Amino acid sequence: MHPRRELSAPTAPAPWQRTALGANLLAPDGGLGVTIFEEMTSLALETGAINLGQGFPDEDGPLEIREAARAAIAAGANQYAPGKGIAELREAVSAHQERFYGLTPDPATEVIVTTGATEGIAASLLALAGPGDEVLTFEPFYDSYGAVIGLSGATHVTAPLLAPDFLPDMAALESAFNGRTRVVLLNNPHNPTGAVFPRQVLQRILELAEQHNSVVVTDEVYEHLTFGVRHVPVASLPGAAGRTITISSAGKTFSLTGWKIGWLSGPEDLVAAVRTVKQFLTYSSGTPFQSAIAAGLALPDAFYDGIAADLERKRDILSAGLRAAGFDVFTPQGTYFVNVDTAPLGITDSVDLARRLPGLVGVAAIPVPVFCHPEGADRTRSLLRFAFCKKTAVLEEAAGRLATLGRKL
């Protein structure tokens, strides 16, 4: 089906300079420096600003899941879980995939539990790509993608997502594929843009992957956080199941980001290759949390509908403040994030504005160019990303502060 490559270590240090965050990771002397995420968090602390840069909730997830974790700890579930995850959670993941998407991965051989989606992504790329291969992502892209691709020794190739809807430039996407495209890494719903790719776009990505014998790795952590549109997993498309690894996690769905419980599913041969790498990363983690998340995946439809509706209301609160500030707001169809264009304010350098914003109005954000390679950074240089996964009162305060921006520039 897909020829396996021997796993090999890169022959040179990981090419950090090629990652999206290269300019922000490297200090002037060439050593590892401070990322802009750390910088914005520090500025928020120093100024007392509301931190809408990092995408984590400020409220805990459902009480029943937290109580299930406490019960598991009390019952003695505190030692290593099996490397592929406890059977209860693997079975719950399989049931979840069937319930929502009609997919039926075998929990014994086609599902593994990971230390968050981040480990699932890292293990997949390290297992499936190496020197001489290319990994294709869309741009802007989640920051860890570039770093892990660098660690694998593969070459990172991108295809742009274009405002205002942040869907792929299809001509550029088609030209980005070639015989060396080993993996297509697809984040959908998409961070940082908030786009949710429609079925026809996903079908074309799959067709190109089939044409070039590429594996599709999908990061679907925001699968239940969409607004007025339905998430379509690539694996549910005709012909996709044999070449697709699907990754998700509990962090975003249940607002339990600190638990770091993720999972992936796919055909047995690909999952086995990923598991081989995963066992040398963390082996296993979060034993009592795994059984608690298994219970969470069985929550009724009303829970899943409710979290999306609540987040949509929060999106609209923050967006109103951003429009009052004078930004051009790109309304997201999913995720925790809303992007804005600073150009209507006469500002074309979002990195500079991000550094000034905490002092100006007491709100911190992340400039979108840090999620891009140099060409993409130039294309997105006036864009800022704000997170709205916060308490309503916090977002209302942030919206009020942002509305004063025009008077302070």
Q: From residue 126, how far is each of 145, 194, 342 by CA, in Å?
A: 11, 27, 37
**What is the C-alpha separation between 243 and 1, in angstroms, rounded?**
8
In this structure, the answer to whether residues 175 and 324 fall within a common structural domain is no
In this structure, the answer to whether residues 283 and 157 fall within a common structural domain is yes
Q: Are 133 and 3 in contact (CB under 8 A)?
A: no
In this structure, the answer to whether residues 164 and 291 fall within a common structural domain is yes
- Residue 65, domain member (yes or no): no
Residue 365 has pLDDT above 50, yes or no: yes
- Residue 251, domain member (yes or no): yes
Helices marked H in 212-338 — which ranges? 250-254, 268-278, 287-297, 301-325
In this structure, the answer to whether residues 177 and 320 fall within a common structural domain is no
Whole-model pTM? 0.91
**What is the C-alpha separation between 154 and 243, in angstroms, rounded?**
19
Q: From residue 121, how far is each of 220, 274, 286, 382, 388 by CA, in Å?
A: 11, 9, 18, 29, 25
Cis peptide leading into residue 160 (ω within 30°): no
Give the CATH number for residue 261.
Answer: 3.40.640.10
In this structure, the answer to whether residues 402 and 384 fall within a common structural domain is yes
- Residue 155, domain member (yes or no): yes
Residue 10 has pLDDT above 50, yes or no: no
In this structure, the answer to whether residues 93 and 224 fall within a common structural domain is yes
**Average pLDDT rounded to a whole number, residues 20-44:** 60
pLDDT in tens, 81-124: 999 999 999 999 999 999 999 999 999 999 999 999 999 999 99
In this structure, the answer to whether residues 56 and 81 fall within a common structural domain is no
Q: Write down the pLDDT at residue 118.
A: 97
Give the total number of structural domains in the chain: 2
- Residue 10, domain member (yes or no): no
**What is the C-alpha separation between 376 and 250, in angstroms, rounded?**
31
In this structure, the answer to whether residues 93 and 126 fall within a common structural domain is yes
Residue tagged 């008077």 (tokens): 407
Q: Which of 268, 299, 330 is the last residue of a domain?
A: 299
In this structure, the answer to whether residues 259 and 326 fall within a common structural domain is no
Written as one string, the DSSP assignment of 138-170 is: EES--HHHHHHHHHHTPEEEEEEEETTTTEE-H
144 Cβ contact partners less than 8 Å away, ≥ 6 residues apart: 118, 121, 122
Rounded-to-5 percentages of helix, strand, coil across the chain:
45, 15, 40
Question: Which residue from 221, 167, 171 is spatially nearest to 196, judged by alpha carbons?
Answer: 167
In this structure, the answer to whether residues 167 and 257 fall within a common structural domain is yes
Q: From residue 238, how far is each of 74, 164, 183, 334 by CA, in Å?
A: 45, 29, 19, 24
- Residue 48, domain member (yes or no): yes
Q: Are 249 and 289 in contact (CB under 8 A)?
A: no
Residue 8 has pLDDT above 80, yes or no: no
Residue 229 has pLDDT above 80, yes or no: yes
**What is the C-alpha separation between 317 and 339, in angstroms, rounded?**
14
Q: Write down the pLDDT at residue 33.
A: 54
> Of all residues in the chain, what percent carry a pLDDT higher than 70?
92
For 342, what's the count of Cα atoms within 13 Å in the CB-facing half-sphere?
A: 25
In this structure, the answer to whether residues 221 and 115 fall within a common structural domain is yes
* Residue 27 pLDDT class (50, 70, 90 cuts): very low
In this structure, the answer to whether residues 208 and 245 fall within a common structural domain is yes
What average pLDDT is seen over the chain? Answer: 92
Give the CATH number for residue 367.
Answer: 3.90.1150.10
Residue 28 has pLDDT above 80, yes or no: no
* Residue 24 pLDDT class (50, 70, 90 cuts): very low
- Residue 9, domain member (yes or no): no
Residue 190 has pLDDT above 70, yes or no: yes
Q: Which domain holds residue 382?
A: 16-60+302-408
- Residue 8, domain member (yes or no): no
Strands (E), 163-273: 167-168, 181-187, 215-219, 244-249, 262-265
Q: Which of 251, 277, 299 is the last residue of a domain?
A: 299
Q: Write down the pLDDT at residue 5.
A: 35
Q: Write down the pLDDT at residue 35.
A: 80
Q: Write down the pLDDT at residue 80.
A: 97
**Average pLDDT rounded to a whole number, residues 197-218:** 98
Q: Which of 299, 326, 354 is the last residue of a domain?
A: 299
**Average pLDDT rounded to a whole number, residues 385-401:** 98
Written as one string, the DSSP assignment of 307-355 is: HHHHHHHHHHHHHHHHHHHTPEEE--SBSSEEEEE-GGGT---HHHHHH
pLDDT in tens, 241-292: 999 999 999 999 999 999 999 999 999 999 999 999 999 999 999 999 999 9
- Residue 294, domain member (yes or no): yes
**What is the C-alpha separation between 367 and 55, in angstroms, rounded?**
13
* Residue 56 pLDDT class (50, 70, 90 cuts): confident
Residue 204 has pLDDT above 80, yes or no: yes
Q: Write down the pLDDT at residue 34.
A: 63
What is the edge-to-edge ordering of all strands in the sheet holding 244-249? 111-114, 262-265, 244-249, 215-219, 181-187, 134-139, 155-162, 167-168
Query: Residue 135: which H helix or E strand, with range?
Result: strand 134-139
**Average pLDDT rounded to a whole number, residues 193-217:** 98
Residue 9 has pLDDT above 70, yes or no: no
Q: Are 111 and 265 in contact (CB under 8 A)?
A: yes
**Average pLDDT rounded to a whole number, residues 329-356:** 97
Q: Write down the pLDDT at residue 212.
A: 98
